[in-house]
A and B are shown apart, each in its own frame.
Chain A
Amino acid sequence: MGELLTIDNISVDYGAIRALKSVSMHVNEGDIVCLIGANGAGKSTLLKSIVGLVPLSEGEIKYKGELISSVKHKVSTDNIAKRGIALVPEGRRVFADMTVEENLDMGAFLVKDPAVIAKRKKEMYEFFPILEARKKQKTRSLSGGEQQMMAIARALMSAPTLLLLDEPGLGLAPLIVQEIFRKITLINKENNLTVFLVEQNARMALKNSTEGYVMENGNIVLEAPSKDLLVNEKVKRAYLGS
Protein backbone atom coordinates (compact mmCIF):
# COMPACT_ATOMS: atom_id res chain seq x y z
CA MET A 1 0.00 0.00 0.00
CA GLY A 2 1.58 3.24 -1.14
CA GLU A 3 1.47 6.64 0.42
CA LEU A 4 -1.47 8.57 -1.03
CA LEU A 5 -1.18 11.85 0.85
CA THR A 6 1.97 13.33 2.32
CA ILE A 7 1.88 16.41 4.48
CA ASP A 8 5.38 17.67 5.01
CA ASN A 9 6.10 20.25 7.70
CA ILE A 10 3.25 22.60 6.89
CA SER A 11 2.39 25.77 8.79
CA VAL A 12 -0.67 27.94 8.30
CA ASP A 13 -1.12 31.47 9.62
CA TYR A 14 -4.36 33.37 10.16
CA GLY A 15 -2.99 36.87 10.42
CA ALA A 16 -0.69 36.89 13.43
CA ILE A 17 -1.98 33.56 14.72
CA ARG A 18 -0.21 30.38 13.70
CA ALA A 19 -2.95 27.77 13.38
CA LEU A 20 -0.75 24.89 12.21
CA LYS A 21 2.84 24.52 13.39
CA SER A 22 5.11 22.37 11.20
CA VAL A 23 2.63 19.54 10.85
CA SER A 24 3.70 16.33 9.15
CA MET A 25 1.38 13.41 8.43
CA HIS A 26 0.77 10.78 5.86
CA VAL A 27 -2.20 8.78 4.68
CA ASN A 28 -1.69 5.38 3.14
CA GLU A 29 -3.86 3.97 0.39
CA GLY A 30 -6.83 2.00 1.69
CA ASP A 31 -6.54 3.20 5.29
CA ILE A 32 -8.97 5.07 7.46
CA VAL A 33 -6.84 7.66 9.19
CA CYS A 34 -8.27 9.80 11.94
CA LEU A 35 -7.10 12.99 13.52
CA ILE A 36 -8.49 13.73 16.95
CA GLY A 37 -8.13 16.83 19.02
CA ALA A 38 -10.04 19.45 20.93
CA ASN A 39 -12.06 22.26 19.45
CA GLY A 40 -9.71 24.85 17.96
CA ALA A 41 -6.70 22.54 17.74
CA GLY A 42 -6.36 23.21 14.00
CA LYS A 43 -8.03 20.09 12.63
CA SER A 44 -10.35 21.84 10.17
CA THR A 45 -7.55 24.13 9.05
CA LEU A 46 -5.51 21.08 8.16
CA LEU A 47 -8.29 19.68 5.96
CA LYS A 48 -8.83 23.07 4.32
CA SER A 49 -5.14 23.32 3.53
CA ILE A 50 -5.24 19.92 1.81
CA VAL A 51 -8.00 21.06 -0.57
CA GLY A 52 -6.34 24.42 -1.14
CA LEU A 53 -8.86 26.58 0.70
CA VAL A 54 -6.17 28.09 2.96
CA PRO A 55 -2.65 29.03 1.83
CA LEU A 56 0.45 27.53 3.42
CA SER A 57 3.13 29.62 5.11
CA GLU A 58 5.61 26.75 5.18
CA GLY A 59 6.01 23.21 3.93
CA GLU A 60 4.30 21.27 1.17
CA ILE A 61 1.52 18.77 0.49
CA LYS A 62 1.86 15.95 -2.01
CA TYR A 63 -0.91 13.77 -3.37
CA LYS A 64 0.01 10.61 -5.33
CA GLY A 65 3.57 11.89 -5.25
CA GLU A 66 2.64 15.16 -6.98
CA LEU A 67 2.94 18.55 -5.32
CA ILE A 68 -0.53 20.06 -4.78
CA SER A 69 0.32 22.83 -2.36
CA SER A 70 3.38 24.71 -1.19
CA VAL A 71 4.17 28.33 -0.37
CA LYS A 72 4.85 29.18 -4.00
CA HIS A 73 2.70 26.70 -5.86
CA LYS A 74 -0.96 26.06 -5.16
CA VAL A 75 -3.31 23.91 -7.20
CA SER A 76 -6.77 25.52 -7.08
CA THR A 77 -9.52 23.84 -5.07
CA ASP A 78 -11.58 22.87 -8.13
CA ASN A 79 -8.53 21.25 -9.70
CA ILE A 80 -7.76 19.34 -6.51
CA ALA A 81 -11.33 17.99 -6.72
CA LYS A 82 -10.56 16.93 -10.30
CA ARG A 83 -7.59 14.92 -9.06
CA GLY A 84 -9.85 12.83 -6.84
CA ILE A 85 -9.94 14.42 -3.38
CA ALA A 86 -13.42 15.07 -1.97
CA LEU A 87 -14.09 16.92 1.27
CA VAL A 88 -17.23 16.68 3.37
CA PRO A 89 -16.90 20.07 5.01
CA GLU A 90 -17.46 21.05 8.60
CA GLY A 91 -21.09 21.89 9.23
CA ARG A 92 -22.06 19.89 6.12
CA ARG A 93 -22.43 22.97 3.89
CA VAL A 94 -25.26 21.51 1.84
CA PHE A 95 -26.72 23.68 -0.93
CA ALA A 96 -29.77 24.36 1.22
CA ASP A 97 -31.92 25.91 -1.51
CA MET A 98 -31.39 23.00 -3.87
CA THR A 99 -33.08 19.62 -3.72
CA VAL A 100 -31.29 16.48 -2.55
CA GLU A 101 -31.11 15.29 -6.13
CA GLU A 102 -29.62 18.59 -7.32
CA ASN A 103 -27.04 18.44 -4.54
CA LEU A 104 -26.02 14.99 -5.75
CA ASP A 105 -25.84 16.36 -9.31
CA MET A 106 -23.42 19.00 -8.06
CA GLY A 107 -21.33 16.30 -6.41
CA ALA A 108 -21.08 14.73 -9.84
CA PHE A 109 -20.27 18.03 -11.54
CA LEU A 110 -17.01 16.63 -12.92
CA VAL A 111 -18.71 13.54 -14.30
CA LYS A 112 -20.02 14.37 -17.75
CA ASP A 113 -21.73 11.10 -18.69
CA PRO A 114 -25.41 11.19 -17.63
CA ALA A 115 -25.56 7.38 -17.51
CA VAL A 116 -22.71 7.28 -14.97
CA ILE A 117 -24.38 10.00 -12.90
CA ALA A 118 -27.68 8.13 -12.89
CA LYS A 119 -25.94 4.90 -11.88
CA ARG A 120 -24.11 6.55 -8.99
CA LYS A 121 -27.25 8.30 -7.80
CA LYS A 122 -28.98 4.93 -7.71
CA GLU A 123 -26.10 3.50 -5.67
CA MET A 124 -26.30 6.40 -3.24
CA TYR A 125 -30.05 5.94 -2.83
CA GLU A 126 -29.48 2.25 -2.08
CA PHE A 127 -26.76 3.12 0.38
CA PHE A 128 -28.72 5.92 2.09
CA PRO A 129 -32.39 4.99 1.49
CA ILE A 130 -33.62 8.06 3.36
CA LEU A 131 -32.14 10.24 0.60
CA GLU A 132 -34.28 8.59 -2.04
CA ALA A 133 -37.39 9.36 -0.02
CA ARG A 134 -36.25 12.97 0.23
CA LYS A 135 -34.81 13.47 -3.23
CA LYS A 136 -37.26 16.12 -4.42
CA GLN A 137 -37.11 18.09 -1.15
CA LYS A 138 -35.06 21.18 -0.56
CA THR A 139 -32.06 20.16 1.50
CA ARG A 140 -32.84 22.77 4.15
CA SER A 141 -35.86 20.70 5.22
CA LEU A 142 -33.69 17.69 6.12
CA SER A 143 -32.67 16.81 9.66
CA GLY A 144 -29.03 17.18 10.71
CA GLY A 145 -28.34 13.48 10.30
CA GLU A 146 -29.99 13.38 6.89
CA GLN A 147 -27.98 16.40 5.81
CA GLN A 148 -24.77 14.73 6.94
CA MET A 149 -25.61 11.62 4.93
CA MET A 150 -26.42 13.81 1.96
CA ALA A 151 -23.11 15.65 2.28
CA ILE A 152 -21.27 12.31 2.32
CA ALA A 153 -23.28 11.01 -0.64
CA ARG A 154 -22.57 14.24 -2.52
CA ALA A 155 -18.84 13.80 -1.96
CA LEU A 156 -19.02 10.16 -3.09
CA MET A 157 -20.77 11.11 -6.35
CA SER A 158 -17.42 12.15 -7.81
CA ALA A 159 -16.03 8.65 -7.02
CA PRO A 160 -13.05 10.13 -5.19
CA THR A 161 -9.78 8.35 -4.38
CA LEU A 162 -9.42 10.14 -1.07
CA LEU A 163 -12.38 11.16 1.08
CA LEU A 164 -11.83 13.83 3.72
CA LEU A 165 -14.45 14.17 6.45
CA ASP A 166 -14.60 17.12 8.82
CA GLU A 167 -16.42 16.17 12.05
CA PRO A 168 -19.07 13.92 10.51
CA GLY A 169 -20.55 13.31 13.97
CA LEU A 170 -20.83 16.89 15.14
CA GLY A 171 -24.16 17.78 16.68
CA LEU A 172 -25.81 14.45 15.89
CA ALA A 173 -27.46 11.91 18.18
CA PRO A 174 -25.17 9.00 19.21
CA LEU A 175 -27.17 6.41 17.27
CA ILE A 176 -26.92 8.45 14.08
CA VAL A 177 -23.20 9.00 14.60
CA GLN A 178 -22.81 5.23 14.91
CA GLU A 179 -24.76 4.71 11.72
CA ILE A 180 -22.63 7.23 9.85
CA PHE A 181 -19.37 5.65 11.02
CA ARG A 182 -20.67 2.22 10.06
CA LYS A 183 -21.33 3.53 6.55
CA ILE A 184 -17.89 5.10 6.34
CA THR A 185 -16.13 1.82 7.23
CA LEU A 186 -18.38 0.01 4.76
CA ILE A 187 -17.44 2.36 1.91
CA ASN A 188 -13.79 2.00 2.84
CA LYS A 189 -13.95 -1.81 2.67
CA GLU A 190 -16.20 -2.21 -0.36
CA ASN A 191 -14.76 0.51 -2.59
CA ASN A 192 -11.23 0.50 -1.21
CA LEU A 193 -11.69 4.22 -0.61
CA THR A 194 -9.03 5.91 1.48
CA VAL A 195 -10.55 8.00 4.26
CA PHE A 196 -9.04 10.76 6.36
CA LEU A 197 -11.35 12.03 9.04
CA VAL A 198 -11.15 14.67 11.69
CA GLU A 199 -13.28 14.20 14.78
CA GLN A 200 -13.82 15.46 18.31
CA ASN A 201 -15.58 12.25 19.23
CA ALA A 202 -12.28 10.44 19.85
CA ARG A 203 -13.66 7.07 20.88
CA MET A 204 -15.87 6.74 17.81
CA ALA A 205 -13.09 7.89 15.51
CA LEU A 206 -10.40 5.60 16.96
CA LYS A 207 -12.70 2.57 17.00
CA ASN A 208 -13.45 3.01 13.32
CA SER A 209 -10.02 3.79 11.96
CA THR A 210 -6.67 2.14 11.33
CA GLU A 211 -4.23 4.97 12.04
CA GLY A 212 -4.60 7.83 14.47
CA TYR A 213 -3.05 11.23 15.05
CA VAL A 214 -3.59 13.54 17.99
CA MET A 215 -3.44 17.29 17.52
CA GLU A 216 -3.01 19.93 20.20
CA ASN A 217 -2.65 23.66 19.55
CA GLY A 218 -1.62 23.21 15.95
CA ASN A 219 0.93 20.46 16.69
CA ILE A 220 0.79 16.73 16.10
CA VAL A 221 1.60 15.31 19.56
CA LEU A 222 0.95 11.59 19.02
CA GLU A 223 0.85 9.19 16.12
CA ALA A 224 0.11 5.47 16.35
CA PRO A 225 -2.22 2.71 15.12
CA SER A 226 -5.72 3.57 16.36
CA LYS A 227 -6.03 0.45 18.52
CA ASP A 228 -2.90 1.51 20.42
CA LEU A 229 -4.20 5.04 20.93
CA LEU A 230 -7.41 3.62 22.39
CA VAL A 231 -5.40 2.15 25.27
CA ASN A 232 -2.83 4.93 25.52
CA GLU A 233 -2.98 6.43 29.02
CA LYS A 234 -2.54 10.02 27.86
CA VAL A 235 -5.26 9.71 25.21
CA LYS A 236 -7.58 7.99 27.64
CA ARG A 237 -7.19 10.76 30.17
CA ALA A 238 -7.49 13.69 27.77
CA TYR A 239 -9.93 12.44 25.12
CA LEU A 240 -11.74 9.30 26.23
CA GLY A 241 -12.83 10.50 29.63
CA SER A 242 -11.52 7.54 31.60
Chain B
Amino acid sequence: MFFQHFTNGLTLGGIYALIALGYTMVYGILKFINFAHGDILMVGAYIGMFSFNFFRGDAPLGAWTFFSFVLAMIVSAAFCAFLGMFIERVAYKPLRHASRLAPLLSAIGVSFILSNGAAWLWGTQSKKFDYPFDNTPLMIGGVAITPHQILILVVSLILMVVLKLFVDRTRLGKAMRATSLDQDTALLMGINVNQVISLTFAIGSALAAIGGILIAFDYKCYPTLGMMTGLKAFVAAVAGGIGNITGAMLGGILLGLLETFGVAILGIPMGYKDTIAFAILILILLVKPEGLLGKREKEKV
Protein backbone atom coordinates (compact mmCIF):
# COMPACT_ATOMS: atom_id res chain seq x y z
CA MET B 1 0.00 0.00 0.00
CA PHE B 2 2.86 2.37 0.80
CA PHE B 3 4.16 2.32 -2.75
CA GLN B 4 0.69 2.86 -4.13
CA HIS B 5 0.25 6.06 -2.10
CA PHE B 6 3.80 7.06 -2.88
CA THR B 7 3.12 6.80 -6.61
CA ASN B 8 -0.11 8.75 -6.32
CA GLY B 9 1.53 11.42 -4.22
CA LEU B 10 4.49 11.70 -6.54
CA THR B 11 2.31 12.28 -9.61
CA LEU B 12 0.23 14.90 -7.84
CA GLY B 13 3.43 16.52 -6.58
CA GLY B 14 4.98 16.53 -10.05
CA ILE B 15 2.15 18.73 -11.28
CA TYR B 16 2.37 21.07 -8.29
CA ALA B 17 6.10 21.34 -8.90
CA LEU B 18 5.69 22.29 -12.58
CA ILE B 19 3.30 25.07 -11.64
CA ALA B 20 5.26 26.18 -8.59
CA LEU B 21 8.27 26.82 -10.82
CA GLY B 22 6.50 29.69 -12.53
CA TYR B 23 5.72 31.42 -9.25
CA THR B 24 9.21 30.98 -7.93
CA MET B 25 11.07 32.06 -11.09
CA VAL B 26 9.07 35.25 -11.42
CA TYR B 27 9.45 35.99 -7.73
CA GLY B 28 13.18 35.34 -7.94
CA ILE B 29 13.58 38.08 -10.51
CA LEU B 30 10.85 40.62 -9.80
CA LYS B 31 10.14 39.92 -6.10
CA PHE B 32 6.49 39.79 -6.94
CA ILE B 33 3.83 37.05 -6.84
CA ASN B 34 2.15 36.61 -10.19
CA PHE B 35 -1.36 35.83 -9.03
CA ALA B 36 -2.50 35.33 -12.62
CA HIS B 37 -0.24 32.28 -12.91
CA GLY B 38 -3.03 29.86 -11.95
CA ASP B 39 -5.25 31.29 -14.66
CA ILE B 40 -2.54 30.77 -17.23
CA LEU B 41 -2.61 27.08 -16.43
CA MET B 42 -6.36 27.13 -17.00
CA VAL B 43 -5.90 28.77 -20.41
CA GLY B 44 -3.21 26.19 -21.13
CA ALA B 45 -5.64 23.37 -20.37
CA TYR B 46 -8.30 24.81 -22.71
CA ILE B 47 -5.85 25.47 -25.55
CA GLY B 48 -4.42 21.98 -25.08
CA MET B 49 -7.86 20.41 -25.22
CA PHE B 50 -9.01 22.38 -28.25
CA SER B 51 -5.85 21.72 -30.21
CA PHE B 52 -5.86 18.05 -29.25
CA ASN B 53 -9.43 17.67 -30.52
CA PHE B 54 -8.50 19.57 -33.67
CA PHE B 55 -5.42 17.46 -34.46
CA ARG B 56 -7.11 14.24 -33.51
CA GLY B 57 -10.21 14.64 -35.67
CA ASP B 58 -12.24 11.44 -35.56
CA ALA B 59 -9.27 9.13 -35.16
CA PRO B 60 -9.73 6.23 -32.72
CA LEU B 61 -7.20 5.80 -29.88
CA GLY B 62 -3.79 4.87 -31.20
CA ALA B 63 -0.43 6.27 -32.19
CA TRP B 64 -2.01 9.22 -33.98
CA THR B 65 -4.01 10.35 -30.95
CA PHE B 66 -0.88 10.29 -28.83
CA PHE B 67 1.04 12.22 -31.45
CA SER B 68 -1.83 14.75 -31.62
CA PHE B 69 -1.59 15.10 -27.87
CA VAL B 70 2.15 15.82 -27.95
CA LEU B 71 1.50 18.39 -30.66
CA ALA B 72 -1.28 19.92 -28.54
CA MET B 73 1.08 20.23 -25.56
CA ILE B 74 3.58 22.10 -27.72
CA VAL B 75 0.92 24.43 -29.16
CA SER B 76 -0.49 25.17 -25.71
CA ALA B 77 2.95 25.74 -24.17
CA ALA B 78 3.89 28.12 -26.99
CA PHE B 79 0.56 29.97 -26.74
CA CYS B 80 0.90 30.42 -22.98
CA ALA B 81 4.53 31.47 -23.29
CA PHE B 82 3.40 34.35 -25.51
CA LEU B 83 0.43 35.06 -23.27
CA GLY B 84 2.74 35.26 -20.25
CA MET B 85 5.12 37.63 -22.02
CA PHE B 86 2.21 39.74 -23.23
CA ILE B 87 0.71 40.02 -19.74
CA GLU B 88 4.08 41.02 -18.31
CA ARG B 89 4.57 43.69 -20.95
CA VAL B 90 1.09 45.17 -20.62
CA ALA B 91 0.17 44.74 -16.96
CA TYR B 92 3.41 44.47 -14.97
CA LYS B 93 6.23 46.20 -16.78
CA PRO B 94 4.69 49.70 -16.58
CA LEU B 95 4.43 49.21 -12.81
CA ARG B 96 7.98 48.02 -12.26
CA HIS B 97 8.99 51.15 -10.39
CA ALA B 98 5.66 51.61 -8.62
CA SER B 99 5.06 50.46 -5.05
CA ARG B 100 5.21 46.71 -4.49
CA LEU B 101 1.46 46.52 -4.03
CA ALA B 102 0.60 47.93 -7.47
CA PRO B 103 1.76 44.98 -9.63
CA LEU B 104 0.14 42.61 -7.13
CA LEU B 105 -3.23 44.29 -7.65
CA SER B 106 -2.62 44.31 -11.38
CA ALA B 107 -1.99 40.55 -11.22
CA ILE B 108 -5.26 39.96 -9.38
CA GLY B 109 -6.97 42.00 -12.09
CA VAL B 110 -5.38 39.93 -14.84
CA SER B 111 -6.47 36.79 -13.01
CA PHE B 112 -10.12 37.91 -13.10
CA ILE B 113 -9.86 38.98 -16.74
CA LEU B 114 -8.52 35.57 -17.73
CA SER B 115 -11.06 33.50 -15.80
CA ASN B 116 -14.02 35.68 -16.79
CA GLY B 117 -12.73 35.81 -20.36
CA ALA B 118 -12.62 32.02 -20.42
CA ALA B 119 -16.18 31.83 -19.06
CA TRP B 120 -17.35 34.29 -21.71
CA LEU B 121 -15.55 32.57 -24.58
CA TRP B 122 -15.97 28.92 -23.64
CA GLY B 123 -18.86 28.88 -21.16
CA THR B 124 -18.91 27.93 -17.50
CA GLN B 125 -19.74 24.27 -18.05
CA SER B 126 -16.74 22.00 -17.70
CA LYS B 127 -15.44 20.40 -20.86
CA LYS B 128 -13.99 16.94 -20.88
CA PHE B 129 -10.40 16.43 -21.94
CA ASP B 130 -10.28 12.90 -23.42
CA TYR B 131 -7.31 10.71 -22.68
CA PRO B 132 -5.12 10.34 -25.75
CA PHE B 133 -4.49 6.72 -24.77
CA ASP B 134 -6.22 3.83 -23.08
CA ASN B 135 -6.01 4.74 -19.39
CA THR B 136 -6.50 1.27 -17.92
CA PRO B 137 -4.18 0.95 -14.91
CA LEU B 138 -1.15 -1.28 -15.26
CA MET B 139 0.06 -3.42 -12.38
CA ILE B 140 3.76 -2.90 -11.74
CA GLY B 141 5.10 -4.79 -8.75
CA GLY B 142 1.77 -4.70 -6.95
CA VAL B 143 1.26 -1.00 -7.61
CA ALA B 144 -1.58 0.07 -9.87
CA ILE B 145 -0.37 2.90 -12.06
CA THR B 146 -2.33 4.52 -14.86
CA PRO B 147 -0.71 5.56 -18.15
CA HIS B 148 -1.82 9.09 -17.19
CA GLN B 149 0.32 8.88 -14.05
CA ILE B 150 3.26 7.57 -16.04
CA LEU B 151 2.83 10.49 -18.43
CA ILE B 152 2.85 12.96 -15.54
CA LEU B 153 5.96 11.42 -14.01
CA VAL B 154 7.86 11.31 -17.29
CA VAL B 155 6.86 14.78 -18.49
CA SER B 156 7.45 16.54 -15.18
CA LEU B 157 10.78 14.77 -14.64
CA ILE B 158 12.03 15.68 -18.13
CA LEU B 159 10.91 19.30 -17.84
CA MET B 160 12.47 19.77 -14.42
CA VAL B 161 15.79 18.25 -15.48
CA VAL B 162 15.86 20.36 -18.64
CA LEU B 163 15.02 23.52 -16.71
CA LYS B 164 17.68 22.81 -14.10
CA LEU B 165 20.30 22.20 -16.79
CA PHE B 166 19.24 25.36 -18.61
CA VAL B 167 19.51 27.54 -15.51
CA ASP B 168 22.76 26.01 -14.26
CA ARG B 169 24.69 25.50 -17.46
CA THR B 170 23.64 27.82 -20.27
CA ARG B 171 24.67 31.41 -20.86
CA LEU B 172 21.06 32.65 -20.74
CA GLY B 173 20.23 30.53 -17.71
CA LYS B 174 23.15 32.00 -15.82
CA ALA B 175 22.10 35.47 -16.92
CA MET B 176 18.70 34.69 -15.42
CA ARG B 177 20.29 33.76 -12.09
CA ALA B 178 22.50 36.84 -12.20
CA THR B 179 19.46 39.03 -12.84
CA SER B 180 17.63 37.52 -9.90
CA LEU B 181 20.66 38.13 -7.65
CA ASP B 182 21.37 41.74 -8.65
CA GLN B 183 19.59 43.52 -11.47
CA ASP B 184 21.82 46.59 -11.71
CA THR B 185 24.98 44.53 -11.82
CA ALA B 186 23.42 42.25 -14.43
CA LEU B 187 22.85 45.36 -16.56
CA LEU B 188 26.49 46.32 -16.08
CA MET B 189 27.45 42.95 -17.57
CA GLY B 190 25.50 43.89 -20.69
CA ILE B 191 22.58 41.59 -19.86
CA ASN B 192 19.32 42.85 -21.31
CA VAL B 193 17.24 42.54 -18.16
CA ASN B 194 13.95 43.18 -19.97
CA GLN B 195 14.59 40.22 -22.22
CA VAL B 196 15.49 38.04 -19.26
CA ILE B 197 12.23 38.99 -17.55
CA SER B 198 10.24 38.18 -20.70
CA LEU B 199 12.02 34.84 -20.96
CA THR B 200 11.21 34.06 -17.33
CA PHE B 201 7.51 34.68 -17.91
CA ALA B 202 7.63 32.61 -21.11
CA ILE B 203 9.22 29.59 -19.41
CA GLY B 204 7.01 29.80 -16.31
CA SER B 205 3.84 30.10 -18.37
CA ALA B 206 4.79 27.25 -20.71
CA LEU B 207 5.38 24.99 -17.70
CA ALA B 208 2.01 26.06 -16.27
CA ALA B 209 0.32 25.19 -19.57
CA ILE B 210 1.74 21.66 -19.42
CA GLY B 211 0.73 21.38 -15.76
CA GLY B 212 -2.77 22.57 -16.69
CA ILE B 213 -3.12 19.95 -19.40
CA LEU B 214 -1.93 17.20 -17.08
CA ILE B 215 -4.54 17.99 -14.41
CA ALA B 216 -7.35 18.67 -16.88
CA PHE B 217 -7.69 14.94 -17.61
CA ASP B 218 -8.84 14.47 -14.02
CA TYR B 219 -10.64 17.73 -13.39
CA LYS B 220 -11.87 18.64 -16.91
CA CYS B 221 -11.54 22.19 -18.25
CA TYR B 222 -13.49 24.99 -16.56
CA PRO B 223 -12.79 28.69 -16.05
CA THR B 224 -11.71 28.48 -12.40
CA LEU B 225 -9.62 25.33 -12.90
CA GLY B 226 -6.46 27.21 -12.00
CA MET B 227 -7.63 28.62 -8.71
CA MET B 228 -7.12 25.82 -6.22
CA THR B 229 -4.23 24.17 -8.04
CA GLY B 230 -2.55 27.54 -8.55
CA LEU B 231 -2.95 28.36 -4.89
CA LYS B 232 -1.47 25.03 -3.84
CA ALA B 233 1.45 25.38 -6.23
CA PHE B 234 2.01 28.79 -4.67
CA VAL B 235 2.03 27.13 -1.27
CA ALA B 236 4.56 24.62 -2.59
CA ALA B 237 6.77 27.44 -3.91
CA VAL B 238 6.70 29.31 -0.60
CA ALA B 239 7.26 26.15 1.45
CA GLY B 240 10.23 25.21 -0.73
CA GLY B 241 11.68 28.69 -0.41
CA ILE B 242 10.28 31.20 -2.86
CA GLY B 243 12.77 32.29 -5.48
CA ASN B 244 14.60 28.95 -5.31
CA ILE B 245 14.04 26.65 -8.29
CA THR B 246 15.07 23.42 -6.59
CA GLY B 247 12.96 24.50 -3.63
CA ALA B 248 9.87 24.78 -5.80
CA MET B 249 10.42 21.27 -7.18
CA LEU B 250 10.94 19.88 -3.69
CA GLY B 251 8.00 21.82 -2.24
CA GLY B 252 5.66 20.61 -4.99
CA ILE B 253 6.58 16.96 -4.61
CA LEU B 254 6.46 17.18 -0.82
CA LEU B 255 3.01 18.74 -0.91
CA GLY B 256 1.72 16.04 -3.25
CA LEU B 257 3.08 13.28 -1.04
CA LEU B 258 1.80 14.81 2.20
CA GLU B 259 -1.66 15.36 0.78
CA THR B 260 -1.89 11.75 -0.37
CA PHE B 261 -0.46 10.26 2.80
CA GLY B 262 -2.58 12.56 4.95
CA VAL B 263 -5.73 11.10 3.49
CA ALA B 264 -4.47 7.53 3.27
CA ILE B 265 -2.59 7.08 6.52
CA LEU B 266 -3.81 9.72 8.95
CA GLY B 267 -7.34 8.99 7.77
CA ILE B 268 -8.15 12.63 7.20
CA PRO B 269 -11.41 12.77 5.23
CA MET B 270 -10.96 13.49 1.52
CA GLY B 271 -12.86 16.75 1.88
CA TYR B 272 -10.23 18.16 4.22
CA LYS B 273 -7.37 17.24 1.91
CA ASP B 274 -6.75 20.85 1.03
CA THR B 275 -6.62 21.82 4.68
CA ILE B 276 -3.47 19.75 4.94
CA ALA B 277 -1.72 21.82 2.29
CA PHE B 278 -2.28 25.02 4.13
CA ALA B 279 -1.62 23.59 7.57
CA ILE B 280 1.76 22.43 6.28
CA LEU B 281 2.49 25.85 4.89
CA ILE B 282 1.82 27.46 8.25
CA LEU B 283 3.93 24.84 10.04
CA ILE B 284 6.90 25.21 7.72
CA LEU B 285 6.75 28.97 7.85
CA LEU B 286 6.60 28.93 11.65
CA VAL B 287 9.71 26.79 11.87
CA LYS B 288 11.56 28.14 8.84
CA PRO B 289 10.09 31.44 7.64
CA GLU B 290 12.30 31.49 4.54
CA GLY B 291 11.05 28.07 3.35
CA LEU B 292 12.93 24.79 3.10
CA LEU B 293 15.69 25.91 0.72
CA GLY B 294 15.15 29.65 0.90
CA LYS B 295 17.72 32.09 2.11
CA ARG B 296 16.98 34.61 4.76
CA GLU B 297 16.59 37.90 2.94
CA LYS B 298 18.96 40.54 4.06
CA GLU B 299 17.50 44.00 4.06
CA LYS B 300 19.15 45.91 1.28
CA VAL B 301 20.36 49.36 2.18
A-to-B contact residues, CB < 8 Å: 51, 53, 76-79, 81-82, 86-87, 89, 93, 95-98, 102, 105-107, 109-110, 154, 158
Contact = CB atoms under 8 A, between A and B. Distances in A.
Q: Which 7 A-B pairs have the closest CB atoms?
A: A81-B190, A77-B187, A110-B190, A93-B185, A109-B189, A95-B181, A106-B178
Instruction: Classify the secondary structure of B's interface with A.
Output: helix
B171 interface: yes
Given A97-B181, A98-B181, A82 B188 contact: no
Contacts of A51: 188
Contacts of A158: 189-190
B192 interface: yes
A78 B177 CA distance: 16
Given A81-B189, A89-B184, A154-B189, 15 more contacts: A53-B184, A77-B188, A78-B190, A78-B193, A79-B190, A81-B187, A81-B190, A89-B185, A93-B184, A102-B174, A102-B177, A106-B191, A107-B189, A110-B189, A158-B190
Contacts of A81: 187-190
Contacts of A98: 174, 177-178, 181
A18 B236 CA distance: 47
A130 to B, nearest CB: 21
Interface in B90-108: none
Nearest to A98: B177
B277 to A, nearest CB: 29
B174 A105 contact: yes
Interface of B: 171, 174-175, 177-178, 181-182, 184-193, 295
Contacts of B191: 78, 106, 109
A79 B194 CA distance: 12
Given A95-B182, A98-B177, A87 B190 contact: no
19 contacts: A77-B187, A78-B187, A78-B190, A78-B192, A81-B188, A86-B188, A89-B188, A93-B182, A95-B177, A95-B185, A96-B181, A97-B181, A98-B178, A105-B174, A106-B174, A106-B178, A106-B186, A109-B190, A110-B189
Contacts of B295: 97
Scoring B175, B184, B189 by chain A CB atoms within 10 A of each residue's CB, the highest score goes to B189
Contacts, number: 61
B182 to A, nearest CB: 6
A109 B175 contact: yes
A59 to B, nearest CB: 22
Contacts of A76: 187
Nearest to B188: A87
Nearest to B185: A93
Contacts of A154: 189
Contacts of A87: 188
Contacts of A93: 182, 184-185
Most A-side CB within 10 Å, residue of B171, B174, B186, B188: B188
A81 B186 CA distance: 10
A188 B191 CA distance: 26
A98 B179 CA distance: 12
A106 B189 contact: yes
B181 A53 contact: no
A81 B192 CA distance: 10
Contacts of A96: 181
A51 B184 CA distance: 10
B171 A105 contact: yes
A87 to B, nearest CB: 5
Contacts of A109: 171, 175, 189-191
Contacts of A77: 184, 187-188
A17 B191 CA distance: 31
Nearest to A83: B190
A183 B171 CA distance: 29
Contacts of B178: 95, 98, 106
